[in-house]
Amino acid sequence: MIEWIKSNKLGVIRGMFLVPIILVMIISISHVISWYDLANPTSWAIYLSIAIEIAAMSAISAASVRIRGFSVWFVFILVTFIQFIGNIYFCYSDIDVTTKNFKDWSDLTAPVFDMIGADVSNAIDQRRWLALIEGGLLPLISLTCLHFFIKYDGIDNIEPAKPKEVEEPVSEKIVAPEKVEEVKVEVEKSIQPNTPTQPVEPPVIPSTAIQVPRQTLAPKQRQKMGLSNKMKKILGKL
């Protein structure tokens, strides 16, 4: 049963609003008939009372859905006023001041009506106040429930709207290249002890390797070259 109520929560709540509307409408029709019956045949009084109830529901429906215009509120006020009169008149005519229930009601409410200046000893005043309270609240109950029935649409099931995230426009920014700092690496050079420098002797080139063309040499130079070659041959034999 509980699971069914949870699954049909919207229909159950709307049905609870609809039940008092229907019951009060039926009672109000019978009340208004007695008022219209004062100046109309009974059949016409029934038609008129039903028309008043339909007009009242149409007016409150139009006001609930925010239909603009003075005519909507004019019809609503007019038919609600007729409902008040019909319900209050029926209650007043049906009250019997000689019953024990009415006397008990008068004794109970005497301090309250005495505070507002009403004559608590007068049975007619007590009768009017009782008719006003019993008959006047019925149209308010019916119209209020009808307003709830129209406006309610599973409000408690709707998740609160999340604030929309405003996307900021992406602006193209020119990013300057980062300056790369050059790290100076100091290289420590090893200091070697000073060594005395020795003169580098040129390589000895054998005389045989040097062949100077004879044409380019002078006669004296040719003689010296011949003698030196002979000496080298002799020394080589030894």
More confident residue, 195 or 109: 109
Q: Residue 188's pLDDT is what?
A: 47
Q: Flag whether pLDDT at 36 surpasses 80.
A: yes
Q: Rounded CA gap, 145 and 21, in Å?
A: 6
pLDDT > 70 in the chain, percent = 65
Average pLDDT over residues 90-105: 91
Residue whose structure tokens are 């099931």: 157
Q: Residue 47's pLDDT is what?
A: 92
List, in order, residues 6 or more apart from 42 with CB less than 8 Å away. Answer: 33
pTM over 0.95: no
Please state the domain extents for the chain. 8-154
In 3D, which of 179, 171, 150, 137 has the Cα closest to residue 24? 137
Q: Which two tokens stand for residue 63?
A: 């006001």
Q: Rounded CA gap, 17 and 150, in Å?
A: 9
Say how far residue 8 (Cα) sits from the centre of its chain.
Answer: 26
Average pLDDT over residues 9-14: 79
Q: Residue 219's pLDDT is what?
A: 58
* Contact in structure between 141 and 19 (CB atoms under 8 Å): no
Look up residue 201 and give its amino acid.
E
Residue 90 binned pLDDT confidence (cut-offs 50, 70, 90): very high
Residue whose structure tokens are 């390797």: 209
Say how far residue 217 (Cα) sits from the centre of its chain.
Answer: 115
In 3D, which of 39, 139, 136, 132 has the Cα closest to residue 92? 132
Q: Which residues of 52-89 are buried (b: 16+ CB within 10 A; e: fewer)?
A: bbebbbebbbbbeeeeeeeebeebbeebbebbbbbbbb
Identify the top-confidence range among 37-41, 52-56, 179-183. 37-41
**45 burial level (CB within 10 Å; 0-12, 13-18, 19+):** buried
Continuous H helices in the chain: 2-7, 9-36, 42-64, 70-94, 100-115, 123-151, 219-237
Q: Flag whether pLDDT at 100 surpasses 60.
A: yes
Q: Determine how many CB atoms are found less than 10 A away from the CB of residue 169.
A: 5
In 3D, which of 142, 139, 145, 150 has the Cα closest to residue 66? 150
